[in-house]
Structure 1
Amino acid sequence: MKDLFYNDPEQIKRIVEEFSSAILPLKKPDQPFFSKYRVFNYKEELENAEPFGYEAQDPEEFIKNFAGYFENAVNWDSTGVLYNVHPNVNVYGQVASFIAGFANPNFAQDISSGKLMLIEKQLINYFASLAGWDSGQVGGIFTFGGKGTNLYGLKVALDKTFPNLREQGLQGKIKVISSDLGHPCHVEVCNWAGIGINNCIRLKTENTTLPVELFKETFEEIVKNGEKLPLIILNGLTTLNHAVDDIKGIAEARDEIVEKYKLDYIPHIHTDSVLGWVYLLLARYDFDANPLSIRPDILSTMKKKYLLMANITYADSFGADFHKTGFCSYSSSLFMTKDKKSLQNIEYSYREDDTLEFSKYSPYNYSLELSRSPHGPVSAYATLKTMGVEGFAQVLASLTESFRYLKDVFHAQEHTQVLNYNEDSNLLFFVFKPRKDISFTENMEPGLVEEIKAFNTGFYQFLIHKLEKGEAYIFFSCSRSHKYLGQSFGSIKVYSWNANFNVEEAKKVTYHINELFEEYIQGFEATKDYNIFDFLDVKGVNK
């Protein structure tokens, strides 16, 4: 029993080595999974699982059995994994979090966490400066994910709009504005808060962003209907388009309507920037001197995204997912608000000022969670420190250049059609053409659309079949719902946020995709539906 709890550093080194020796060799650089891919049945696996026993299991036997659960685990360090915004992990961030766990802190209050909680405060101040906010006035808190940051945004918005919300609950007719390119959780938080999904207005975007005039018309209509608009959720880099809304323009339009109708509240603008926050780091990059010698066209794209994201200064709050574009493991998310009072007033019982001393920092007085892991702040802190702005700028440049290369190559091929060629996004949507002479236009014949979709979803089934046999070295997703020219073609989605992905790796990916395609057209008939498609298909979202 004694060896199950901490004794000394050598004990920890030995146990870590035992786990590492059993599991990490499964992470092969050229393999997208820790094992051959296998579609298993949960009921069968549960029936055959080793039962929990009365007596303690031998640690060596436990580690051996535990290693078996890494079957089908994705090897995010493989540059052949091109599945969604999911990074490989900064090892210093991961190990720092692991070591912090030996202090077993609860980030609900500093008295049980020691100085480790200062890390969260440092990160809040850092992101306040990046956003151009007054660090003395801002508030922030790490939470359970991007959905959590949006839920916090909704909560502080409701509290500002309804001062007696805590005692009396929601009153009157309430609307929330988002857009059709907003994340599904924008609707979901309205469900969780009891507002109702039908009261989340998903305005139609134009050229991937929310039109200011459409927003104004909608807001005015809400006012005239006697309804209230506590929250406006804007996009700070959408998942599928990497689009950023006109934050400044929407903020000015909001203020104009508030003044016009003499409203007794100001709608809260939350920017869902869980992906786009990373471009705020470029506030510290010298675009004129360009010390990293980034290619001019790539530098121009990066600067454009930074300038769009810099308008976050006009928002009232925003979110950042470090487990998405920040090379941390799940989950590490930060909610930031321009006015700390809106956060600390949630339970009416907490205040902070410059006299704050150790033993008095207690986020549990206002946080959704009363138990908070140190993982989010610690992993983000370690990653930002060990990579620096320079490291992030290098990765952003490499990803931008790599996806520009992929778009150019697939655009030039006769047998492929790129669906997002003109977007400045670090992802590729394309389809294979069943015949090279097919031209893509609006209002294509429905039968042809279905033929193209079947051809591409069939290719994806073929990819999974090859992964099962251990004969494929790439893994990406296929979207049944992604739309191009108003129609769904079963788009192949190639997406990477791997710090090691570069043009050379992109060339290998191109070669292997085309190699698989040549084999696919020789004849393949799926014998089962693998049902592994895009996350947003699962959410029932049409993009």
Structure 2
Amino acid sequence: MAVRKKWQQKLISLLPSFPYPWFKAQRSKIFLNQMNQSLTDLIRMKHRPTFEKSEIWRSYYGESLLPDYSNCKNAMLPNQTTPIAETLDEVIELFHGMPIWAHPQSMLNVLPSVNSAAVIAATLTNMASPNFVEGEVSWNIAKAELESIAMMADLLGWKPAKAGGVFTFGGTGCYLYALKLAITRIMGKETRYKGLHQKGVVIVSKVGHYAKKTCTDWLGLGMDQVIEIDVDEKNAMRIPHLEAVMRECNAANRPIIMIVATMGTTDAFAIDPIRDIRRLIDRYKPQQGRNKPFLYADAVIGWAWLVYKKYSFSKNPLGFSKEALYSIRQGYQALKYIGDADAIGIDFHKTGWCPYSSSLFVVKNNEEMIDLLARKKPAYIATHTAFNPFLYTLETSRSGAPAVAAWATLKHFGYEGFQVLLGRIIEVKLFFKKLLEHDTNLICINADNHGLPTLFRVYPSHLNAKKQYHAELNDPAHRDELYAYNKLQQLVANKLFAMLRVKEAQVPGWENPPFISLSAGYRPPYYALQETNYEYWVFALKSFPVSPFANELSMMVLRNYILKARDLVIAELLSEANKHSKIRTNQAKAWFGSCSAIPKKYLLGKQEMPAYVMKPKVSLLEKKALPPAEIDAAIQAMLVALPYFYHLTKLELERLLQYGRIKKLFPGRLLCKEGDPAKHAYLIIEGELQVYTKVAGQSREKILGRFGRGSFLGEMALFEKGTRSANIKAGKKSATVFVIDGRKLARFLNPEK
């Protein structure tokens, strides 16, 4: 028998690294076990839904680490094969600190949770590894792209039989396809061979996505050929200005290649009046017999509102609140004419709950696109099927995973699923808006916006936010204040980030703030609409409650973390007041921009003593008997130290105490049991509570967590109207608990109370 050569022996050891190509249960288990182990390891990096050490609010995998890329350049290819288990262990390590987009505290951007159907569909597709350049290497899996295009065409009001498109690399990829198609349509097919003999222009609003610069640059048109149109107070394109620009371009014989209608930006959810733009294009008579400008709808976010075209707003079958129903309807009315465009871009990884990146470029006239962009078929490639997009696409290799993920999502959710998910975001957003309205120091600055983000500003406690913001927006005499409080928004954003990600900056009891963002230039003030210095535009904190798990409680936590971060920032600033007339806060990292100086006069108001002091640690109850007034004061001190009650005034805290009672538990005494209706929330005054479950078929208990003085338990189930998921009892020693009536607590915390 011939002795195997070394390479043959090594090959045998490598074969288990590949999924087995035949069905054989035992061999297939190798891959299934590897996949299952890795998924299990990743899932275990999530944190438990327990209030012990506020684990429930940790919105990231594993440890909250800042990324350190400093040693990446030192990586080298190993000389020998690394066992797959070790390699996968290293893969799992990469996920430490990665935000969990499904977590209700992750509100950074339109980064929603990926749905299970999409994840599984994409994973299965990656196993089969189809190349969506032609049917020969994608077979039936290519139907996912064709059917997704048909479904979207129908949603847009187009004829699916005539529409076409391609899944591509994100919203910028869609923009690039649109511009290439527009150049060829307006400037002629010969430009594909001889290049552009005359520069044309792209017209887009001032708040249009920065892809306008990227694509004109990469296609050789030039970034200077972008003409930006003024916007109104809602960041919508001003039609009179657009009409004037079109007239000027025609008079100067400057071809208008493409007009971009922005249909829902991430930041301001700007929506251009696309029907008015279409009317202008239809009336336009370009020189030299050129085609009319190509109209592209950048609707990567806004497309999803079209699902409400099959919703009865009069009957409201899903039972949305009156305010949410109005907002949804307004959003739909503003977006329902997206189909007036020649082509649109859709991001399923945004308002489609799919993995990155899953973007679809859709055109109304597929025959025209193929005619304008087709290339001669390479001799070595056969066209055995009717699916051959490689003849006109930019990509010569295209993964099928994005298309299959989107297709599975569309099939799974249908109209109603999308209606529910979008409607829930609007409901939660409107709840947060009400929270802001009921706080003197906070203001929502995009209250009339019907999109996903909430933009808001926080002010020092001596200021009325509504009056101050109105003055900054309308009166040039308050220009310096606008600048100063812009910096305050920046400092608060930096503080929240440091509290979340920098161990040295963590605040006891406040270790897990929401992951939100900052808009450094939302809009110019009314008195300076042409302002070019963005430092004097309006800055704002912003949140995107796009997780399906976001709820009213998570928005209350967000509100109070904002107030806490503000107080910490100003306390730090004032602690340096004796050293500098202009003071800075010592941030671990200026994540959202440099921390410029803020004159202290903007922080204090008229009072002589600083309004902000670092709150001392809570003085808890001693074992000795205390007078009732002191007991109440101790409970209030514990409550205000929690993220849920930080915003309450002394009078409100006193009123809250009326909704509860003190309960003494002897060692081991049960407080509530698993399956009980969630009717109360609990504040531990003294002692320890244990949370546990019974092990099925056994008498022993599994301890899920131990909670000490100052801990607050049971509030999540109140807002979800659920039941207790575990038992709670006193520990080895007796415990004293403040029991709050859940129904009254929920009503008390409601901003419409």
Length-normalised TM-score, structure 2 = 0.67
- Write the distance in 1 (CA, Å) between the matches of 2:557 and 2:193: 60
Is 2:564 aligned against 1:495? no
Summarize the Cα distance change of 1:19–1:66 in structure 2 as closer, same or farther, 3 Å threshold.
Answer: same
Query: Aligned-pair distance for 1:339?
Result: 0.7
Q: Partner of 2:702 in structure 1? A: none
CA drift of 1:413 comes to: 1.1
Alpha-carbon deviations, 1:350-401, whole Å to 9, x = none? 89xxxxx972311000001010001211110111222221111111111112
Q: Distance in 2 between matches of 1:350 and 1:391?
A: 43
Superposed CA deviations along residues 255-277 of structure 1, whole A, max 9, x for unmatched, are: 11228x68431111000000011
Give 1:532's aligned residue.
591
**Structure 2: which 5+ residue stretches go unaligned?**
1-13, 21-26, 48-55, 378-382, 529-535, 574-583, 594-753
Matched to 1:498, the amino acid is S
Tell me if the contact between 1:434 and 1:452 (Cα under 8 Å) persists in the aligned partners: no
- How far did residue 520 of structure 1 move? 4.2
Distance (whole Å) between structure 1 residues aligned to residue 376 and residue 363 of structure 2: 16
Please state if 1:523 is matched with 2:572: yes
Matched, 1:182 2:241: no
Answer yes or no: is the 8 Å Cα contact 2:494–2:592 preserved in 1: no
The alignment partner of 1:43 has SS state of coil
SS in 1 for 2:362: strand
Alignment partner for residue 402 of structure 1, among 417, 428, 431? 428
Question: How far, CA to CA, are the matches of 1:510 and 1:363 in structure 2?
Answer: 49
Q: Aligned to 1:223, what secondary structure does the other structure show?
A: helix
Alignment partner for residue 223 of structure 2, among 190, 197, 206? 197
* Partners of 2:353 and 2:405 in 1: CA distance: 9
- Secondary structure of 2:521's counterpart equals coil
User: Could you tell me which of 427, 440, 448 is aligned with 2:481?
Assistant: 448
Q: Are the equivalent residues in 1 in contact too, given 2:249–2:255 (CA < 8 A)?
A: yes
Once the two structures are superposed, the pairs formed by residues 125-164 of structure 1 within 5 Å of their partners are: 125-163=150-188, 164=190
2: distance between equivalents of 1:350 and 1:308? Answer: 42
Q: Which amino acid aligns with 2:555?
A: A
Q: Counterparts of 1:500-511 in structure 2 under 5 Å?
A: 500-511=549-560
Instruction: Confirm or deny: 8 A CA contact 1:331 1:375 kept in the other structure.
Output: no
Q: What are the residue-to-residue correspondences of 1:345-494 with 2, within 5 Å?
A: 345-349=371-375, 359-437=385-463, 439-440=468-469, 441=471, 442=474, 443-467=476-500, 468-469=502-503, 471-483=511-523, 485=525, 487-494=536-543
Residue 288 of structure 1 aligns with which residue?
Answer: 314
Alignment of 1:42-81 (within 5 A): 42-44=69-71, 46-47=73-74, 51-81=76-106
Counterpart pick for 1:16 among 35, 49, 56? 35
**In 2, Cα distance between equivalents of 1:480 and 1:73:** 24
Q: Does 1:38 align with 2:65?
A: yes
Q: Which amino acid aligns with 1:483?
A: R
Distance 1:531 1:358, change over 3 A: farther
The equivalent of 1:255 in structure 2 is 282
**Bigger-Rg structure (1/2):** 2
Structure 1 residues 419 and 155: CA distance shift in structure 2, 3 A = same
1:413-460 CA distance string (max 9 Å, x none) = 112232222222321212221353361223244442333133222222
Partner of 2:713: none
Higher relative contact order (CA 8 A, sep 6+): 1
Provide Cα deviations, 1:152-211, integer angstroms capped at 9, x if missing partner.
111111111122222221121311100011001012211111111111001111132112
Measure, in 1, the Cα distance between the counterparts of 2:214 and 2:198: 20
Residue 246 of structure 1 aligns to which amino acid in structure 2? P
1:252 to partner: Cα distance:
0.9
Is the counterpart of residue 227 in structure 1 residue 260 in structure 2?
A: no
* Residue 23 (structure 1) shift: 1.9
Shift of 1:493: 1.4
User: How many Å separate the matches in 2 of 1:310 and 1:437?
Assistant: 41
Determine the C-alpha separation between the residues in 1 that align with 2:405 and 2:297: 23
Aligned mates of 2:488, 2:273 — CA distance in 1: 38
Equivalent pairs, count: 526
| Matches of 1:478 and 1:268, distance apart in 2 | 34
Give the aligned partner of residue 722 of structure 2: none
Q: Which residue of 2 aligns with 1:215?
A: 242
Percent identity of equivalent pairs: 24
Give the superposition deviation at 1:491. 1.9
In the TM superposition, what is the alpha-carbon distance from 1:87 to its structure 2 partner?
Answer: 0.8
Seen in structure 2, the aligned counterparts of structure 1 residues 529 and 189 have a Cα distance that, compared at 3 Å, is farther
Deviates more, 1:305-314 or 1:105-114: 305-314
The letter for the 2-side match of 1:92 is A
Offset of residue 80 of structure 1: 0.3
Structure 1 pair 314–466 and aligned structure 2 pair: CA distance change class (3 A): same
Q: State the distance in 2 between where 1:212 and 1:257 align.
A: 14
Q: Find 1:6's aligned residue among 15, 19, 32.
A: 19
Sort the Cα spacing of 1:482 and 1:243 in 2 relative to 1 into closer, same or farther, 3 A.
closer
Residue 490 of structure 2 aligns to a residue in which SS? helix
Structure 1: stretches of 5+ with no match in the other structure: 352-356, 535-543
**For the Cα contact (< 8 Å) 2:428–2:545, is it kept in 1?**
no
How far apart are 1:253 and its partner, in Å?
1.1
The amino acid that maps onto 2:15 is: K
- Partner amino acid for 2:563? N
Q: Residues 151 and 451 (structure 1 numbering): CA distance in 2 closer, same or farther, change over 3 Å?
A: same
Deviates more, 1:36-45 or 1:13-22: 36-45
Cα 1:223–1:489 change in 2 (3 A) is closer
Distance 1:40 1:288 in 2: 50
Q: Distance in 2 between matches of 1:40 and 1:398?
A: 33
Please, what TM-score do these two structures have when normalized by structure 1? 0.91
Q: Cα 1:66–1:222, aligned 2, differ >3 Å: closer, same or farther?
A: same
- C-alpha RMSD of matched pairs (Å): 2.3
Q: Classify 1:92/1:234 alpha carbon distance in 2 versus 1 (closer, same or farther; 3 Å).
A: same
**2:331: which partner in 1?**
305
- C-alpha distance in structure 2 between counterparts of 1:509 and 1:311, whole Å: 35
2:144 paired residue among 119, 125, 130: 119
Deviations 1:494-532 (A, max 9, x none): 123212223343233323433444444443775456243
| Counterpart AA for 1:239 | T
Q: How has the CA–CA distance of structure 1 residues 433 and 513 changed in structure 2, closer, same or farther, with 3 Å as cutoff? A: closer
- The residue type paired with residue 2 of structure 1 is L
Q: 2:272 aligns with which of 242, 245, 258?
A: 245
2:119 equivalent in structure 1? 94
TM-superposed deviation, 1:54? 1.3
Contact 1:419–1:429 under 8 Å retained in 2: yes
Residue 40 of structure 1: how far off its partner (Å): 4.5
- Tell me how far apart the structure 2 counterparts of residues 446 and 11 of structure 1 sit (CA, whole Å): 66
SS at match of 2:572: coil
2:374 is matched by which residue type in structure 1? Y
Q: Which amino acid aligns with 1:88?
A: S
In the TM superposition, what is the alpha-carbon distance from 1:135 to its structure 2 partner? 1.5
Task: Give the distance between the partners of 1:484 and 1:217, measured in 2 at CA.
Answer: 22
3-state SS of paired residue (1:120): helix
Residue of 149, 173, 189 corresponding to 2:199: 173
Q: Secondary structure at the match of 2:193?
A: helix
